[in-house]
Amino acid sequence: MDRVLFAAIALLAGGLVWVVSGTLEQRIINVDDKAPNFSITTDSGKTISLSNFGGKLLVLNFWASWCEPCVTEVPSLDAFQRELAPQGVVVVGVSIDRNLKLYQQFLEKLPVSFETARDPDANISSSYGTFQIPETYIIDRTGKVREKVISNQNWMDPEVLAHVRSLL
């Protein structure tokens, strides 16, 4: 009888560990996955969500003012927005800066033409499984991730521009 009880307890404990570990596992969004929905208020006061971009290609960039590769990437990402906006590309930069003052100083020093917002608790980037920045997701009009770019890149590179245009 003790062996049966012990086996039942062990089985239940194993089941509990399996259930709990499944809820702790962070999902990482990859190409061809459906992009998680989000809602955030931008620095210009607009509340935006994934559903605001119907018919357009969304370039969702996670960054921070203290991240050197992010700082390096910002000028080309800004030029990219200005170049492709007329064709239906929208860039949104979501910063994970915790320090509001440093974030604001960064944007004053290096103003951009694309929408920016601050998510100091990294809720949105966490929902995408982002753990390194900069990280950028190119999301099509159906909400599907078409590209995932980890680390900085030159967004004005002719090959990058041609590839993004091919996604329109």
Question: What's the token pair of residue 101?
Answer: 């003052």
Give the pLDDT score at 51: 85
CA 128 to chain centre: 6
Cβ-based neighbours of 145, under 8 Å, separated by 6 or more: 29, 30, 31, 32, 33, 34, 35, 137, 138, 139
Give the pLDDT score at 23: 45
Residue 27's pLDDT band (cuts 50, 70, 90): confident
Whether the predicted pLDDT of 119 surpasses 80: yes
Q: Which is more confidently placed, 91 or 4? A: 91
Q: Which is more confidently placed, 65 or 26? A: 65
CATH class of domain segment(s) 28-167 = alpha beta
Question: What is the three-class DSSP state of 47?
Answer: strand
Closest Cα partner for 146 from 132, 130, 164, 122?
Answer: 164
Give the pLDDT score at 147: 96
Whether the predicted pLDDT of 158 surpasses 80: yes
Give the pLDDT score at 72: 95
Give the pLDDT score at 53: 81
pLDDT (mean) for 99-128: 94
Q: Is the bond into 134 cis (omega within 30 degrees of 0)?
A: yes
Q: What is the mean pLDDT of the chain?
A: 88
Residue 8's pLDDT band (cuts 50, 70, 90): low
**Does the predicted model carry a pTM greater than 0.75?**
yes
Give the pLDDT score at 21: 47
H-type alpha helices, the chain: 2-24, 68-84, 100-109, 123-128, 158-167
Summarize pLDDT for 59-98 with one digit per residue, the tens. 999 999 999 999 999 999 999 999 999 999 999 999 999 9
**Domain ranges across the chain:** 28-167
Summarize pLDDT for 40-50 with one digit per residue, the tens. 999 999 998 98
